[in-house]
Amino acid sequence: MKYRYVWVAAIGCLLAPVPVYSASGQVVLACSRQGVLSPPGLDKPTSDALLVFDFDRRLMFHDGAAEGSPISSIKKFFITWKSEDGTREGYLNRLTLQAEEMQRSASASVKTTFACEMHAQLTFKDLRP
């Protein structure tokens, strides 16, 4: 039972509105789609997504993307990311665990909103900056 509190405290350290550099490792979020805004006739994205934030490499991995997107900023309440080619960008609200992602192509843009749940795999390194 006391190990449960350790995990809760560790997850809280990663998601609390403080700078993330104090911890390292990965946060894994299982997300379900809440809404999609896209042009009529465009295929809808899948209903579920897995978002993995790798703070050591400053990358966000989306299970539907071929490669990771760089984390562009880590702020008090939001983590944002944007792909190198600019076709995928989004943010995670660190307090509500709601994510929003925009996918752009030459013909259309699709905006998807997700509600996420926490699944964590943590690795703590030396906490000194």
CATH number at residue 63: 2.40.128
Q: What is the rounded distance in angstroms from the CA atom of residue 112 to the CA atom of residue 34?
A: 8
- The verdict on residue 97 lying in a domain is yes
- The verdict on residue 46 lying in a domain is yes
Q: What is the pLDDT of residue 1?
A: 45
Q: For residue 57, which amino acid is it?
A: R
- The verdict on residue 44 lying in a domain is yes
Q: How many domains does the chain have?
A: 1
Reported as a single tens digit per residue, the pLDDT across 79-124 is: 999 999 888 899 999 999 999 999 888 888 888 899 998 876 666 5
- The verdict on residue 11 lying in a domain is yes
For 95, the domain range is 2-122
**What pTM was estimated for this model as a whole?**
0.68
The candidate with the shortest Cα–Cα distance to 20, out of 54, 67, 52, is 54
Reported as a single tens digit per residue, the pLDDT across 32-85 is: 888 777 565 555 555 688 888 888 889 998 876 668 899 999 888 999 999 998
The candidate with the shortest Cα–Cα distance to 14, out of 128, 127, 96, 122, is 122
Contact 72, 87 (CB under 8 A): no
